[in-house]
Amino acid sequence: MKMTDIARLLDCDVLCCEDQLGGHVYSACGSDMMSDVLAYVKNQAVLLTGLLNTQVIRTAEMMDMVCVVFVRNKMPSEEILRIAKESGIVVMSTKYRMYEACGILYANGLNRIEGDNRG
């Protein structure tokens, strides 16, 4: 799925790295626990989270993720956006709660993480 599709489906405000919206993501992860992200995420993924700190971007960078969507209208700080820009990670914000946002992406073809055997 293209990140432009994610932005459209979730009615997102694009906050950083708009020039990379044509890139693709192949899986998604919704979590506020970065330890879960580290344990289960594969590359080329989008992270949906309500956690607002720099560790979100650092974790996404470490896991080769290309996009972070902050849910519930959360707005990241300038420091978070600066780090994301330096890392080339697209950052967006959506009005949807995490449950709804994940469901919308799943229903539109972005499936669960490869190798994740949980339900």
Domains of the chain: 3-107 (3.40.1390.20)
74-84 pLDDT tens trace: 999 999 999 99
Lowest mean pLDDT among 5-9, 26-30, 84-88, 114-118: 114-118
Confidence of residue 114 (pLDDT cuts 50, 70, 90): very low
The overall average pLDDT reported for the chain is: 90
Tens digits of per-residue pLDDT, 17-57?
Answer: 999 999 999 888 999 999 888 887 666 789 999 999 999 99
The count of C-alpha atoms lying within 13 angstroms of the C-alpha of 31, restricted to the half-sphere facing its C-beta, is 18
Strands 13-16 and 90-93, by their bridges, are antiparallel
**Among residues of the chain, what percentage have pLDDT more than 70?**
90
**Tokens, residue 53:** 């700190």
